[in-house]
């Protein structure tokens, strides 16, 4: 990967830093009786329910109520959250160590399409691993879609991040696991790199 002229690195979270497997959530929901979940959610195709959750347009409670309506099954909040969080796996320590090294050379940012339920569970995971402070200290700023009200690959979120940090697009590298998200960034002049869990090897080359 050529980083000549790059001063800023923007990382996605899921499948770049944090291992995830959406199939685990689909399977968990089906076990709860939400058999239609596969028709409404995937990383590449989401319906308005998940879009709205990821942009903060609906609350966690409203999301859970929609899941109950969708399934026509009486589910506890805890059951819905557990199924929804099942896709979250772990973050190998060598990725955190890489971020700490990069922090000394670049401005480092996190930009993720996510939601409050997932981030609460992710933060709990970091606390269990005693790495929460170390992880967030790696970033000059963190942008979660549900907090900023925008999501990738729409142009507005890239424009917002660039303007918010006074970054020059051509001096910025964005690493994501989905080509659609990279394409959206590239349209704003940002350099891009497709990345899927091999982040450490990528920077070793």
**Is 90 exceeded by the pLDDT of residue 88?**
yes
What value does the mean pLDDT take over residues 148-172? 97
Lowest mean per-residue pLDDT among 63-72, 98-107, 155-164, 182-191: 63-72
Give the residue carrying structure tokens 């091999």: 198
Quote the pLDDT of residue 196.
Answer: 85
**Is 90 exceeded by the pLDDT of residue 10?**
yes
Q: Per the omega criterion (within 30 degrees of 0), is the bond before 153 cis?
A: yes
What value does the mean pLDDT take over residues 25-49? 74
Q: How confident is the model at residue 43 (pLDDT cuts 50, 70, 90)?
A: very low
CATH architecture of the domain covering 22-85: Orthogonal Bundle (1.10)
What fold is seen in the domain 8-19+90-204?
Rossmann fold (3.40.50)
Quote the pLDDT of residue 101.
Answer: 96
Q: What tokens does 141 get?
A: 């700023």
Domain with CATH 1.10.150.240 in the chain: 22-85
What value does the mean pLDDT take over residues 160-178? 97
Q: How confident is the model at residue 140 (pLDDT cuts 50, 70, 90)?
A: very high
- Could you give the CA distance from residue 92 to residue 139 in angstroms, rounded to a whole number? 17
- At residue 68, the 3 state secondary structure works out as helix
- Could you give the CA distance from residue 191 to residue 204 in angstroms, rounded to a whole number? 19
Lowest mean per-residue pLDDT among 2-6, 175-179, 194-198: 194-198
Write out pLDDT tens, residues 181-204.
Answer: 999 999 999 999 999 878 998 888
* Beta bridge pairs of residue 88: 20
Give Dmax (Cα) for the chain. Answer: 55
Burial of 116 (C-beta count, 10 Å sphere; 0-12/13-18/19+): middle
Alpha helix positions (H), the chain? 22-31, 37-40, 48-54, 60-71, 77-85, 93-103, 116-128, 132-136, 145-148, 155-164, 179-186, 199-204
Quote the pLDDT of residue 44.
Answer: 44
Domain with CATH 3.40.50.1000 in the chain: 8-19+90-204
Q: Which residues are CB-contacts of 3 (< 8 A; sequence separation ≥ 6)?
A: 173
pTM for this one?
Answer: 0.93
Lowest mean per-residue pLDDT among 17-26, 28-37, 191-200: 28-37
């Amino acid at each position: 990967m050529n980083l000549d002229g790059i001063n800023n690195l923007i990382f996605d979270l899921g499948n770049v830093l944090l291992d995830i497997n959406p199939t685990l959530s689909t399977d968990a929901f089906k076990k709860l009786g939400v058999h239609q979940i596969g028709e409404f959610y995937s990383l590449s195709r989401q319906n308005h329910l998940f879009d709205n959750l990821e942009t903060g347009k609906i609350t966690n409670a409203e999301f859970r109520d929609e899941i109950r309506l969708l399934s026509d099954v009486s589910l506890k909040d805890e059951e819905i959250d557990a199924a929804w969080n099942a896709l979250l796996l772990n973050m190998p320590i060598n990725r955190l160590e890489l971020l700490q090294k990069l922090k000394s050379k670049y401005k480092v940012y996190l930009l993720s399409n996510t939601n409050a339920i997932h981030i609460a569970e992710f933060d709990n995971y970091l606390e269990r691993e005693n790495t929460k402070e170390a992880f967030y200290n790696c970033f000059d700023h963190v942008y979660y879609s549900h907090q900023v009200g925008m999501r990738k690959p729409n142009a507005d979120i890239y424009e917002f991040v660039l303007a918010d940090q006074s970054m020059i697009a051509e001096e910025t590298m964005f690493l994501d696991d989905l080509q659609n998200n990279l394409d959206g960034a590239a349209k704003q002049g940002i350099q891009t790199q497709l990345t899927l869990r091999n982040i450490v090897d990528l920077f070793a080359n």
